[in-house]
Amino acid sequence: MADALASCRADLVICARNLDRCETAAAEIREAHGVRVVAVACDVRREADVDRVVSRAVDEFGRIDILVNNSGTSWGAPAVDYPLEGWQKVIDVNLTGSFLMAQRVGRVLIEQGEGGKIINVSSVLALRGSPAEAVSAVAYNASKGGLISMTTDLAVAWGKHRICVNAIAPGWFPTEMSSSVLDASGEGFLSRIPLGRFGGDHDLKGAVVFLASAASDYVTGHTLAVEGGHLAA
Protein backbone atom coordinates (compact mmCIF):
# COMPACT_ATOMS: atom_id res chain seq x y z
CA MET A 1 0.00 0.00 0.00
CA ALA A 2 2.86 2.38 0.78
CA ASP A 3 4.42 1.54 -2.59
CA ALA A 4 1.13 2.24 -4.36
CA LEU A 5 0.73 5.65 -2.73
CA ALA A 6 4.35 6.51 -3.48
CA SER A 7 3.80 5.58 -7.13
CA CYS A 8 1.15 8.33 -7.13
CA ARG A 9 3.76 10.78 -5.80
CA ALA A 10 2.69 10.77 -2.17
CA ASP A 11 5.38 11.49 0.42
CA LEU A 12 5.17 9.02 3.29
CA VAL A 13 5.72 8.38 6.95
CA ILE A 14 5.83 4.64 7.62
CA CYS A 15 5.97 3.27 11.12
CA ALA A 16 6.06 0.01 13.05
CA ARG A 17 7.67 -1.38 16.18
CA ASN A 18 10.60 -2.70 14.13
CA LEU A 19 12.42 0.40 12.92
CA ASP A 20 14.94 -1.57 10.85
CA ARG A 21 12.18 -3.01 8.67
CA CYS A 22 10.64 0.42 8.22
CA GLU A 23 13.97 1.90 7.19
CA THR A 24 14.53 -0.90 4.68
CA ALA A 25 11.07 -0.35 3.19
CA ALA A 26 11.61 3.42 3.14
CA ALA A 27 14.89 3.04 1.23
CA GLU A 28 13.27 0.72 -1.34
CA ILE A 29 10.36 3.12 -1.88
CA ARG A 30 12.66 6.14 -2.26
CA GLU A 31 14.74 4.24 -4.79
CA ALA A 32 11.70 3.13 -6.78
CA HIS A 33 9.67 6.33 -6.79
CA GLY A 34 11.88 9.26 -5.79
CA VAL A 35 9.50 10.49 -3.07
CA ARG A 36 10.32 11.50 0.47
CA VAL A 37 9.83 8.67 2.97
CA VAL A 38 10.38 8.92 6.72
CA ALA A 39 10.65 5.80 8.88
CA VAL A 40 9.62 6.05 12.54
CA ALA A 41 9.45 3.48 15.33
CA CYS A 42 5.99 3.27 16.86
CA ASP A 43 4.00 1.01 19.16
CA VAL A 44 0.42 2.13 18.54
CA ARG A 45 -0.57 1.04 22.04
CA ARG A 46 1.46 3.95 23.43
CA GLU A 47 -0.04 7.41 23.14
CA ALA A 48 3.38 9.04 23.28
CA ASP A 49 4.54 6.98 20.29
CA VAL A 50 1.46 7.89 18.27
CA ASP A 51 1.88 11.57 19.13
CA ARG A 52 5.52 11.41 18.07
CA VAL A 53 4.66 9.91 14.66
CA VAL A 54 1.99 12.50 13.95
CA SER A 55 4.26 15.35 15.06
CA ARG A 56 7.09 14.02 12.91
CA ALA A 57 4.82 13.90 9.87
CA VAL A 58 3.75 17.52 10.36
CA ASP A 59 7.32 18.64 11.04
CA GLU A 60 8.65 16.89 7.93
CA PHE A 61 5.89 17.72 5.45
CA GLY A 62 3.96 20.60 6.99
CA ARG A 63 0.66 18.74 6.83
CA ILE A 64 -1.10 15.36 6.76
CA ASP A 65 -3.58 14.33 4.06
CA ILE A 66 -3.97 10.54 4.38
CA LEU A 67 -3.81 7.98 7.18
CA VAL A 68 -3.67 4.24 6.52
CA ASN A 69 -4.26 2.34 9.76
CA ASN A 70 -2.63 -1.04 9.18
CA SER A 71 -1.38 -2.12 12.60
CA GLY A 72 -2.32 -5.69 13.42
CA THR A 73 -1.62 -8.67 15.63
CA SER A 74 -3.40 -11.89 16.52
CA TRP A 75 -3.55 -14.61 19.18
CA GLY A 76 -4.82 -18.08 18.48
CA ALA A 77 -6.79 -20.07 21.07
CA PRO A 78 -10.25 -21.67 21.34
CA ALA A 79 -12.85 -19.15 22.48
CA VAL A 80 -13.71 -21.17 25.60
CA ASP A 81 -10.06 -21.05 26.70
CA TYR A 82 -9.09 -17.66 25.31
CA PRO A 83 -6.78 -15.90 27.80
CA LEU A 84 -7.52 -12.35 28.86
CA GLU A 85 -3.89 -11.51 28.11
CA GLY A 86 -4.36 -12.50 24.48
CA TRP A 87 -7.68 -10.70 24.17
CA GLN A 88 -6.26 -7.48 25.62
CA LYS A 89 -3.16 -7.55 23.44
CA VAL A 90 -5.14 -7.92 20.23
CA ILE A 91 -7.74 -5.30 21.13
CA ASP A 92 -5.05 -2.85 22.26
CA VAL A 93 -3.15 -3.09 18.97
CA ASN A 94 -5.85 -3.61 16.36
CA LEU A 95 -8.62 -1.43 17.74
CA THR A 96 -7.32 0.95 20.41
CA GLY A 97 -4.11 1.64 18.51
CA SER A 98 -6.04 2.40 15.34
CA PHE A 99 -8.35 4.71 17.27
CA LEU A 100 -5.44 6.61 18.80
CA MET A 101 -3.86 7.12 15.39
CA ALA A 102 -7.17 8.15 13.81
CA GLN A 103 -7.89 10.54 16.68
CA ARG A 104 -4.52 12.28 16.48
CA VAL A 105 -4.53 12.52 12.69
CA GLY A 106 -8.18 13.61 12.78
CA ARG A 107 -7.24 16.56 14.97
CA VAL A 108 -4.64 17.64 12.42
CA LEU A 109 -7.04 17.24 9.49
CA ILE A 110 -9.75 19.25 11.25
CA GLU A 111 -7.29 22.02 12.11
CA GLN A 112 -6.02 22.14 8.52
CA GLY A 113 -9.62 22.57 7.35
CA GLU A 114 -9.12 20.98 3.94
CA GLY A 115 -10.58 17.50 4.46
CA GLY A 116 -8.61 14.30 4.25
CA LYS A 117 -8.72 10.52 4.03
CA ILE A 118 -8.55 7.88 6.76
CA ILE A 119 -8.35 4.25 5.68
CA ASN A 120 -8.69 1.53 8.30
CA VAL A 121 -7.49 -1.94 7.35
CA SER A 122 -10.02 -4.44 8.72
CA SER A 123 -10.44 -8.03 7.54
CA VAL A 124 -12.87 -10.33 5.78
CA LEU A 125 -12.96 -12.16 9.14
CA ALA A 126 -14.87 -9.17 10.53
CA LEU A 127 -17.71 -9.89 8.13
CA ARG A 128 -18.30 -13.61 8.59
CA GLY A 129 -17.59 -16.37 11.08
CA SER A 130 -14.70 -18.72 10.52
CA PRO A 131 -14.49 -22.46 11.22
CA ALA A 132 -12.85 -22.97 14.60
CA GLU A 133 -10.79 -25.88 13.33
CA ALA A 134 -9.12 -23.53 10.83
CA VAL A 135 -9.11 -20.14 12.55
CA SER A 136 -9.49 -19.84 16.31
CA ALA A 137 -8.86 -16.13 16.87
CA VAL A 138 -11.97 -14.55 18.34
CA ALA A 139 -10.19 -11.40 19.52
CA TYR A 140 -8.79 -10.73 16.05
CA ASN A 141 -12.21 -11.08 14.44
CA ALA A 142 -13.84 -8.92 17.12
CA SER A 143 -11.18 -6.23 16.85
CA LYS A 144 -11.52 -6.03 13.08
CA GLY A 145 -15.31 -5.88 13.41
CA GLY A 146 -14.90 -3.06 15.89
CA LEU A 147 -12.70 -1.29 13.38
CA ILE A 148 -15.52 -1.33 10.84
CA SER A 149 -17.92 0.09 13.42
CA MET A 150 -15.39 2.76 14.32
CA THR A 151 -15.04 3.58 10.63
CA THR A 152 -18.77 4.26 10.19
CA ASP A 153 -18.96 6.31 13.38
CA LEU A 154 -16.00 8.53 12.48
CA ALA A 155 -17.33 8.91 8.94
CA VAL A 156 -20.54 10.40 10.34
CA ALA A 157 -18.79 12.50 12.98
CA TRP A 158 -16.18 13.98 10.65
CA GLY A 159 -18.14 14.26 7.41
CA LYS A 160 -18.76 17.94 8.15
CA HIS A 161 -15.00 18.42 8.01
CA ARG A 162 -14.79 16.71 4.58
CA ILE A 163 -12.82 13.85 6.12
CA CYS A 164 -13.67 10.57 4.41
CA VAL A 165 -13.25 7.53 6.65
CA ASN A 166 -13.38 4.13 4.98
CA ALA A 167 -12.13 0.61 5.56
CA ILE A 168 -10.56 -2.13 3.48
CA ALA A 169 -11.39 -5.73 4.38
CA PRO A 170 -8.70 -7.95 2.83
CA GLY A 171 -9.31 -11.64 2.38
CA TRP A 172 -6.55 -14.22 2.60
CA PHE A 173 -3.15 -12.79 1.78
CA PRO A 174 0.05 -14.73 2.57
CA THR A 175 1.82 -12.72 5.30
CA GLU A 176 3.91 -13.48 8.35
CA MET A 177 0.80 -13.36 10.51
CA SER A 178 -1.33 -15.59 8.28
CA SER A 179 1.36 -18.10 7.36
CA SER A 180 0.62 -20.64 10.08
CA VAL A 181 -3.10 -20.70 9.26
CA LEU A 182 -2.52 -20.96 5.52
CA ASP A 183 0.07 -23.69 5.98
CA ALA A 184 -2.44 -25.74 7.94
CA SER A 185 -5.73 -24.88 6.21
CA GLY A 186 -4.86 -23.00 3.04
CA GLU A 187 -6.30 -25.54 0.63
CA GLY A 188 -9.67 -25.39 2.36
CA PHE A 189 -9.78 -21.59 2.17
CA LEU A 190 -8.61 -21.63 -1.43
CA SER A 191 -11.47 -23.93 -2.39
CA ARG A 192 -13.93 -21.26 -1.19
CA ILE A 193 -12.39 -18.37 -3.12
CA PRO A 194 -14.09 -18.07 -6.54
CA LEU A 195 -11.05 -16.46 -8.18
CA GLY A 196 -9.04 -19.50 -7.13
CA ARG A 197 -6.04 -17.77 -5.56
CA PHE A 198 -4.87 -15.87 -2.50
CA GLY A 199 -4.23 -12.15 -2.60
CA GLY A 200 -0.94 -10.99 -4.07
CA ASP A 201 1.42 -8.05 -3.67
CA HIS A 202 -0.54 -5.82 -6.06
CA ASP A 203 -4.10 -6.65 -5.05
CA LEU A 204 -4.55 -3.93 -2.42
CA LYS A 205 -2.88 -1.18 -4.44
CA GLY A 206 -5.94 -0.10 -6.39
CA ALA A 207 -8.15 -0.10 -3.31
CA VAL A 208 -5.85 2.08 -1.23
CA VAL A 209 -5.19 4.53 -4.07
CA PHE A 210 -8.93 4.84 -4.76
CA LEU A 211 -9.78 5.50 -1.12
CA ALA A 212 -6.86 7.91 -0.67
CA SER A 213 -7.57 9.97 -3.79
CA ALA A 214 -10.16 12.43 -5.05
CA ALA A 215 -11.77 9.53 -6.92
CA SER A 216 -13.47 8.57 -3.64
CA ASP A 217 -14.47 12.05 -2.44
CA TYR A 218 -18.13 10.98 -2.26
CA VAL A 219 -17.40 7.68 -0.50
CA THR A 220 -17.31 7.53 3.28
CA GLY A 221 -18.28 5.01 5.95
CA HIS A 222 -17.75 2.21 3.43
CA THR A 223 -15.92 -1.11 3.79
CA LEU A 224 -14.33 -2.30 0.57
CA ALA A 225 -13.76 -6.06 0.59
CA VAL A 226 -10.76 -7.27 -1.44
CA GLU A 227 -11.09 -11.03 -1.16
CA GLY A 228 -11.43 -12.75 -4.51
CA GLY A 229 -15.16 -13.36 -4.06
CA HIS A 230 -14.81 -15.21 -0.74
CA LEU A 231 -17.79 -13.41 0.79
CA ALA A 232 -20.00 -14.31 -2.17
CA ALA A 233 -19.22 -18.01 -2.01
Residues with a known catalytic role: 140
Q: Which of these, 152, 145, 44, 56, lies nearest to 99 by C-alpha position? A: 44
Largest CA distance in the chain: 51
Please give the helix or strand (H or E) that residue 12 lies within, else none. strand 12-16
Cα distances (Å, whole numbers) of residue 27 to 3, 52, 58, 200, 201: 11, 21, 20, 22, 18
First-to-last CA distance in the chain? Answer: 26
User: Distance between CA atoms of 107 and 72, rounded to whole angstroms?
Assistant: 23
**DSSP labels, 53-110:** HHHHHHHHHS---EEEE-------B-GGG--HHHHHHHHIIIIIHHHHHHHHHHHHHH
Q: How many CB atoms lie within 10 A of CB 91?
A: 18
